[in-house]
Every structure is written in C-alpha cells, then in structure tokens.
Amino acid sequence: MQSYDAGPTDHEAGTAPLIEDTIGANFERTAAAHPDVEALVDVAQGLRWTYRELNDEIDVVARGLLGRGIAKGDRVGIWSPNCAEWTIVQYATAKIGAILVNINPAYRTHELSYVLNQSGVRMLISATSFKTSDYVAMVGQVRAEAPTLRMVIFLGTEDWAALRDAAVPAQQLRERMDSLSNTDPINIQYTSGTTGFPKGATLSHRNILNNGFFVTEGINLKPGDRLCIPVPFYHCFGMVMGNLGCTTHGVTMVIPAPGFEPGITLETIEAERCTGVYGVPTMFIAMQNHPSFADRDLSSLRTGVMAGAVCPIEVMKRCINEMHMAEVAICYGMTETSPVSCQTLHDDDLERRTATIGRAHPHVEIKVVDPETGDIVERGQPGEFCTRGYSVMLGYWEDPEKTAEAIDQDGWMHTGDLAVMREDGYCTIVGRIKDMVIRGGENVYPREIEEFLYAHPDIEDAQVIGVPDTRYGEEICVWIKLKPGAERLDAEAIREFATGRLAHYKIPRYVHLVDEFPMTVTGKIRKVQMREESVRILGLANS
C-alpha cells in the first residue's frame, strides 16, 4: 500500500483500528457502555428506547426470527419506509446471521418480484401501505411468483406481535451469535441501475459496521449526541451512515417521519435538539427554502453529512451559516463500497468542505486512472475514481460476471465516476464517465457548468446533459429549476450570463425550465431519463 505522499494513489491509515466485531456484538458493547442513553426515537409513532431497552427489544425480535426457523444466511426482506421496526429488524437479523434484503419502498410488483426471486427471500417483513403504495395488495399479487417466500410479516398488524411471541429461549440466540463471523454476508442492497435490472450489492458485517463508524468519527459525534435521519433506511445513507454510525458511538437515532418532509424534519431538529442531520443536496435545498425555515430554532445543530450527489457550494454555505452546521461534512461513495470512500473532516477549512469531496477514508485506498488504459493519471488530471480496502463489497449477489466487471483482479472497485485528485489528496468529482459530454472533440464535464450556474441569482438548481447534434456530435443542454418568484430564463439570458466567464463550447445551447428533476428515491438525478426527454422535447431524434 502506497503512503499518502507516495504519488497519485492515496490512502489514510486512520487513527482507530478496524472493528472486528459482528454488528450484534458491537451493538451489545455500546448498550453495555451507555445503557441509559436514548438510542432510538420514532417521532411519527411516538416511540422511544434507551440503549438497554432497544437491545432487549432487538433480542425479542431476533429470538422470534429463530422461532420461525430463520437460519444463518437466510434472506429476510424488508419493504417499508423509515420506522422504528425497520431499525429493530436491521439489528435482529444481524444478531442471527440472516441476510437483510433492503427493498426500495417505491418499487412496484415487477421490481418486487425480481428482488424476491433474485435474492431468494424466505421471509418478507413489510409495511401495509405508504402514500400511494398498497403493499398488502402488491405482495398478494407476486406471492405465487416467489417460490422461496415462505412467510410474510406485515408491520402494524398482529403479525408483528406473533413474531415476538415466537421467541425461543435467549440461550439459542447466544449460540447463534457465537457462530457468526464478521466477514459473513449480512446485507443485500439493490443498486438503482439506469438500464436493466438492479444488481444486489452484498455487504458483510465488517463492510458496513466499519464504514458507519468511520463516517461518524469524521463528523465528531459523541455518546449522547442526537442525529436526525430523514434519509431512507433501505439505502446505505440511512442504515449504515445513519444507524450503524450512531450505534457504534452511543448516539441517538432520531427518525423524523416515514419519508422525507422538509417541514417535519426542521420541526424534529428543533423539538429533539438534534446535534446533526443527514441529507442529499435536494433535501437541504428543500429545508432551506421551506416557509418555516427562518422561524425554526436550529441552534442545537453542529454537524451532519451532505452526500448522495455532488453538493452545490451555495447550499453548503447556507448549512454552515444559517443551520449552524459548522462541522458538516461532504461524503462520497457508492453502495458497492459500503458506501463512503472519501470524506471531508469536521475541522477542514471552508474551501475543502465546499469545493471537494474530501480525501481517502481511514483504511481505504483510492486512485484516479485513465479509463481507457487503467494507468494512474497525474494529480490535477481527470480520470476514473477507483477504491480498494475493507469497504469493497463481497460482490453482486449470484452475479459473478457483473462482479468481475466492477472489481478488478487486484481488488480495485471501478466506480464509473470521473474525478480529479488535488496535490493535497483531496478529490473533486467532475461527472460520470457516461455523463461526460464530448462537443466538437472537447471533453465537457457537466459539474463545472452546474457549479457556475448556481451563482446565478435566479437559479435554485441546474443539471447539465449532452444531447445529439449533427455538427458537433453533442451539444450542451441544461435543465434549470428557478428560485420562487424568479423571472423566467431562456437560452439567450444564460448565454449572456456565461459569455466571457465560460469557454464558448461550455455555454449551454438549450435551456429547459422545470419544477422538479427526475431522480431516484435517494436523490440521485436520473440524467439518462433527462437526456431521453430532452431529445423528444427538442425534436433531436434524428440528429
């Protein structure tokens, strides 16, 4: 492993050693050390547990799963928005060595059927409904198509009480816990692919326990601090960076609502005196522009994480100046790397926390390579971001071919992201390899143009894509979301704003005004869909 100063690869040895516990053993260690600290608060349900109480509740559910015959390595699916039971099931399955399969609450029958069958789910724990989703009806429609599915537990019904009533003696749980290894697979998370079916990233205790721990180390949360978690549990941001980050440190997990609501999140931060809050950039934008924002007392906030997409500089500045989050961090990663590979630190200067994604996480190596040759590029030059270390997934569930495409023979995970590593080891993401626009032979990185447009007084958010062009191969198109009350902008106004400040080939030819961007539930912009819609709107199908 090369040292920090050795060259264009980078790693951070870290001050704390890797945790070699299982998730269950680590949780019990925290509960023993901080038994009376509040562990979990579900605001919507009015539920609260201390660490001692939550450990007892997790044990009851774990013993109930054993009583229902769930074996080590069996897959237990959970299909629900955020709630206390989600967290309890996360730790109960970890204690018995069952593999938790996270199912996106936005899925419909086609996707549900695929996930149940691809992972071989034996038990499904599901909400009954959420927003427009009737989970009971959808489970009924696909159950005959899922031959491995033997049991369905609906939350909020007598099913949950019956599961708890099935609890076997505590000794059987001890015996199961003693048989587990921290390198066992414990979680399958389906990545939101832009084409084809999603792939099941398979993660171990060691993968996600350590990643949650080191993310939380980086933002300086301590026992008794309180973290507001409005990001979804079915994704790494919620269950790893949120829940596991808290439970490795004796921090309180605060669930503001089943799904993200900016007003409720702000209300929860104030009422629960939260120390930190997590979110993707669109969540922070929504909170900062909510009518109640100026009236909320957010002075308890000190820290948090913004991740899931590259973070607009102006939004970050408002987090620090108006939300009191002086120690807020940027994190970068992907599900396949548990998820975080780079992070800014709580005491980094403003420039590093607004202009970069941070530097290599503890015990993780990173490098930036030429996507064509695989050779490491010089610092300051763009290339594909690759990472290696404890955090790299075990592989895609039952898909060795896709696994081999993502992880090379030397253990490097190839992310598909274009990055630049600075001389100080801090990195910036300049786009996706597939999102890079090639206009007349010039490589154009959408992120650079987006960051420039954020400085326009009328623009709330901007997303740049390439669209077909007969002359240049591709042209620049920008989708713009205006600030409330702003005047309409057209392509001529954007050209006038950019002329003399951006190279001519980076100035967007097309401008499309929108109220919202198409995005995944985790806040990632779906640029493939944007490109398809732009081609249709602009009549470029034959270009």
Q: What is the pLDDT of residue 500?
A: 87
CATH ID of 10-421, from 3.90.1150.10, 3.40.50.12780, 3.20.10.10, 1.20.1250.20:
3.40.50.12780
pLDDT tens for the 543 residues of the chain, in order: 222 222 345 655 557 999 999 999 999 999 999 999 999 999 999 999 999 999 999 999 999 999 999 999 999 999 999 999 999 999 999 999 999 999 989 888 988 999 999 999 999 999 999 998 999 999 999 999 999 999 999 999 999 999 999 999 999 999 999 999 999 999 999 986 544 578 999 999 999 999 999 999 999 999 999 999 999 999 999 999 999 999 999 999 999 999 999 999 999 999 999 999 999 888 998 999 999 999 999 999 999 999 876 677 788 889 999 999 999 999 999 999 999 999 998 888 888 888 899 999 999 999 999 998 999 999 999 999 999 999 999 999 999 999 999 999 999 999 999 999 999 999 998 877 888 888 887 878 888 899 889 989 999 999 999 999 888 889 999 999 999 999 888 889 999 999 888 888 899 999 999 999 998 756 678 888 999 999 999 999 876
Q: What is the pLDDT of residue 531?
A: 92
Q: What is the pLDDT of residue 9?
A: 58
Instruction: Write down the pTM of the prediction.
Output: 0.86
Q: What is the pLDDT of residue 313?
A: 74
CATH ID of 435-538, from 2.60.200.20, 3.30.300.30, 3.40.50.850, 3.30.499.10:
3.30.300.30
Residue ranges covered by each domain of the chain: 10-421, 435-538
| Per-residue CA distances from 537 to 510, 513, 531, 534 (Å) | 11, 12, 10, 5
Q: What is the pLDDT of residue 137?
A: 97
Q: What is the pLDDT of residue 6?
A: 28
Environment class of 291 (CB within 10 Å of its CB; exposed 0-12, middle 13-18, buried 19+): exposed
Tell me the three-class secondary structure of 8-62, residue by residue. CCEEECCCCCCCCCCHHHHHHHHHHHCCCCEEEEECCCCEEEEHHHHHHHHHHHH
d(CA 249, CA 261): 27
Q: What is the pLDDT of residue 493?
A: 93
Half-sphere exposure of 106 (CA within 13 A, CB side): 11
Q: What is the pLDDT of residue 5?
A: 29
Angle between helices 51-67 and 158-165 (to 10 degrees): 80
Tell me if 10-421 shares its fold with 435-538: no
Q: What is the pLDDT of residue 448?
A: 83
